Structure 1
């Protein structure tokens, strides 16, 4: 999965916006103003094809153990809840990467107020 495929997949989710809230390098994807994915464009330019995704804490540990070269504790993030996932030149399939993005999105959505979740379903 390249950066454009990653971007398009994230933006295909209901209620998702993209922005650069921290600096011109860090591309952030939010649902209802809550971050579920982010990546450094400079790292992509240097060949580090990774993204940060939110993750259930138990699953985060399991993924890091199963894929130690491709799933790492979240870079500059709360390492209990975030993973850095290599999404290009990786042993992870594109379908599985999409699953991890979906998991991150759904985890954030599940923490939103019920009214907001209902609004998202109608989009």
Structure 2
């Protein structure tokens, strides 16, 4: 390619601009492909979350009760295991789906009358 410096500069700038436009267009196309995929996978994720939320039911017992009786128990792992087993049977889920954060004895409970 023979020509003046200005002609070479103009040609190289034109090639650079065309290359940048191609790269920009490909990036925009990729952006829309990713958005479309996230739209498709959002539906399947919502279904999976709904099924998973049914399994991971959190139980809150006696929120409105103000008085709690504290009991000092040396080995409470058996009690926690029994409570988790009863809750798993009640809700029909597996033990992995349950998350018990705290267990407190309540003084005015229906269970106290069963003794």
Q: Shared topology, TM-score over 0.5?
A: no
The one of the two structures with greater contact order (alpha-carbon pairs below 8 A, sep at least 6) is 2
Highest CA radius of gyration, 1 or 2?
2
- Quickly name the TM-score band, shorter chain normalised: under 0.3
In the superposition, the TM-score normalised over structure 1's length comes to 0.22
